[in-house]
Amino acid sequence: MTDTKKKKIHWGPAWGEAKDLIWRHRKRLSIGLGLMLISRSAGFVLPYSSKIFMDEIIPNKNMELLQQLVMIVGITTVIQAITTYALSQIMSVAAQRAIMDMRKSVQQHITRLPTSFFDETKSGVLISRIMTDPEGIRNLVGTGLTQMIGGILTASVAFAYLLYLNWTMTLIILFVLAVFGGGMAYAFNRLRPIFRKRGEINADVTGRLNESLGGVRVVKAYTAEKREDILFAEGVHKLFRNVASSITGVSAITAFSTVIIGGIGILVMTLGGNAVMQEPGTSGYMTLGDLISYLLFTGLVVAPLVNMANIGTQITDAFAGLDRIREIKQTPTEGQQQEGMESLGQLNGDISFENVTFEYDEGVPVLKNISFEAKAGTTTALVGSSGSGKSTLIGLVMAFHYPKSGRILIDGRDLTNIPLKDYRSHLGVVMQDNFLFEGTIADNIRYSKPHATIEEIRRVGLVSHVAEFVDQFEDGYDTIVGERGVKLSGGQRQRVAIARAILANPDILILDEATASLDSESEAKIQDGLETLREGRTSFIIAHRLSTIQSADQILVVEHGEIVERGSHTELLELDGRYKQLYDKQYKFEMNRFINPGEEIAIPEA
Ligand code: ADP
Ligand code: MG
């Protein structure tokens, strides 16, 4: 069953999106269509006038009629030129607007997807969904579709006229054209998956490129340039093979159309020549003028059909892009999963876990049967080995994930029934690797409160000890931090993140190894700031240095996804269990450092 569902997502044409798009742009599209009709009707004048030219003007030496005809042809040519120009102007602008709209809507959807989605999908892939795939719709809303419709209309009218001129010849030609059409349909069915695949390959290659450029220091440190070269080369070769195979397809179509056009030429010459040479008055007789306009009108039937081969490719491309976009859009966003939920209003900050179990991957439990209560305004510390599930537990508090079983209650209300937007606005978080955005230090602090004044920023900068290093920079708070904050040290980034969290003034504060990148001295300094910050807020702290958590109201010791001990610092020391063990180990280490102060070695993991 999942198989058929998958298939549908992969191959089903994105009619819904296409219809939506066309409907939204119906005004421009109908103006375009109107212009197209004028332009195409004007296009009939020249081929038709050649009949009058051959049959009326030349034999009768009718100069007056010639003048009139020249006038009419001149005027219609101008009309055609103007409408064609206006058409592509109006339609191309419309198409670019549609591309912009589509990019916006895909971006909005993607940023609102659940965090688990981002664990599974490469960012390069997502960037390509947002930036590249919408380009295809240019051909749907742009000149592509109107040209196709215009082509069909022109071809039909011209075809009717051909039938009127010589129906037997026309039916034979129709048969040839039908063969051509069948060939085309077949070819496009073959090409569509190739185009689809191209988008995927492109996304893969850009994604990896993005990573290897972002991680250029790691690449260089391990002299992995060659390996990255090979990975990239493989990617672009794949892309090349894909493009090459579609070029083969497209050129086969072109060759096929050439043959068809030639074949029709031969048919018209034989059958048409025969008709002209008949006695006038017999059935099937054509004048020379008839034959010439027949030839020109055949062009009007065939040219749009051949053109459609081109447009068909483009529209195929457009659909492939829309297909991929639709796939993303079918993934419900966090908001969509929560429509109709009652909003949160005031938050008190009582958090409790009731038998919470969680797993990232089916059958690999990461948290098992976690129950605890964090009363509003209290601090809960989590300690335990690395990989024991502390960050995961906190991820559940932040509603990045939901429990597999059990409940998380916020002020007694199940978190699964609370609108995330409401809830998250009460959170403040500092993590081990804090993400800074390209921009100034002030911008990065202000990220949690976009309209904060510089005075507010300075105030939180003092508490978080950002001020200390900012003062050493020439540009102060206006110092540019570089992409992902590369121009700051880990400890400096962490202090900026702390300042950001303080500025947010959150009801629930989460510090996940928030001071891990700081040396003990800076940490001690920031400690006061953080303790003040914790007052009156429900706080969660994960810290390897046990000195930072001694004042917590409760300490939960997590091992292998379970709470193995709980209590206050003194209670846990008395218990003489895992916590005591960790404490002793660290105590010895700190003592050692005290004795040999020169040695700044990494702090062992708690
Ligand atoms: P801690 O913060 O205590 O060091 P984590 O909560 O980060 O531990 O990780 C707990 C376990 O969950 C680890 O075994 C880790 O490999 C796994 N894990 C963490 N994040 C993910 C993820 N996004 N997908 C799959 N497994 C994960
Ligand atoms: Mg962690």
Six-digit token string for 309: 């081969």
Contact 39, 91 (CB under 8 A): no
Task: Tell me whether residue 134 is in a domain.
Answer: yes
Q: Is residue 50 part of a domain?
A: yes
Residue of 120, 356, 392, 429 best suited for mutating to test ligand 1, as the one with most atoms within 8 Å of CB = 392
Is 290 a residue whose pLDDT tops 50? yes
At 294 the three-state DSSP class reads helix
Average pLDDT over residues 427-432: 88
- Is 437 near ligand 1, meaning CB less than 6 Å away? no
The total number of structural domains in the chain stands at: 1
Residue closest via CA to ligand 1's atom 10 equals 389
3 state SS of 440? strand
CA distances from 335 to 111, 257, 329 (A): 11, 51, 13
Residue 271 lies in a domain: yes
Q: Is 147 a domain residue?
A: yes
Mutate to test the pocket of ligand 1, among 118, 119, 360 (most ligand atoms within 8 A of CB): 360
- Assess if residue 339 is contained within a domain: no
pLDDT tier, 558 (very low <50, low <70, confident <90, very high otherwise): very high
Token representation of residue 235: 């990617």
CA atoms of 549 and 539, how far apart (whole Å): 11
Residue 176 contacts residue 263 (beta carbons within 8 Å): yes
Q: Is the CB of 119 under 6 A from ligand 1?
A: yes
Q: Is residue 411 part of a domain?
A: no
Range of the domain at 85: 13-332
CA of 561 to the centre of ligand 2 (A): 12
The answer, yes or no, to whether any atom of ligand 1 lies below 6 A from the CB of 389, is yes
pLDDT band at 153 (very low <50, low <70, confident <90, very high): confident
Distances in Å between the alpha carbon of 291 and those of 95, 282, 424? 41, 16, 76
Q: Report the chain's mean pLDDT, rounded to a whole number.
A: 86
Residue among 115, 119, 366 whose CB has most ligand 1 atoms within 8 A, to mutate: 366
Task: Output the six-digit token pair for 329.
Answer: 């859009």
**pLDDT for residue 6:** 38
To which residue do tokens 């850009």 refer?
206
Give the pLDDT confidence of 169-183 residue by residue, as tens digits.
899 988 988 888 888
| CA of 389 relative to ligand 2 center, distance in Å | 7
Residue reference for tokens 């439990």 = 365
Residue nearest to atom 5 of ligand 1 (CA): 389
68-100 pLDDT, tens per residue? 999 999 999 999 999 989 988 888 888 888 899
Q: CA dist 591 to 231, 261, 523, 599, Å?
A: 48, 91, 17, 12
CATH of the domain at 219: 1.20.1560.10
Q: Is there a domain that residue 400 lies in?
A: no
Report whether residue 360 contacts ligand 1, using a CB cutoff of 6 Å: yes
DSSP conformational letter for 517:
T
382 pocket-lining for ligand 1 (C-beta < 6 Å): no
Q: In angstroms, what is the span from residue 150 Cα to ligand 1's centroid? A: 58
Beta pairing partners, 557? 383, 565
In a domain? residue 403: no
Report DSSP state, residue 450.
Answer: T
Distance 382 CA to ligand 2 centre (A): 10
Determine if ligand 1 sits within 6 Å of the CB of residue 386.
Answer: yes
Which residues have beta carbons under 5 A from ligand 2 (an ion)?
391
Alpha carbons 419 and 342: distance in angstroms, whole number = 7
pLDDT per residue over 566-576, tens digit each? 999 999 999 99
Cα 543 to middle of ligand 2, angstroms:
9
State percent of the chain over pLDDT 90: 37
> From CA 156, how far away is CA 304, in angstroms rounded?
10
Q: How confident is the model at residue 506 (pLDDT cuts 50, 70, 90)?
A: very high
Cα separation, 412 vs 350, whole angstroms: 7
- Residue pair 353/576 in contact (Cβ under 8 Å)? The answer is no
pLDDT of residue 2: 36
SS3 509: strand
Whole-angstrom distance, CA of residue 412 vs CA of residue 403: 16
The Cα 195–Cα 193 span in angstroms is 5
- Rounded to whole angstroms, what are the CA distances from 583 to 541, 547, 578? 17, 9, 9
Write down the pLDDT at residue 591.
Answer: 67
> What's the pLDDT at 323?
84
Residue 413 Cα to ligand 2 midpoint, Å, equals 27
**What distance in Å separates the CA atoms of residue 389 and residue 249, rounded to the nearest whole number?**
53
- 3 has a pLDDT exceeding 80: no
CB of 388 shorter than 6 A to ligand 1: yes
390 lines ligand 1 (CB under 6 A): yes
DSSP letters spanning 311-328: HHHHHHHHHHHHHHHHHH
Atom 26, ligand 1: residue with shortest CA distance: 360
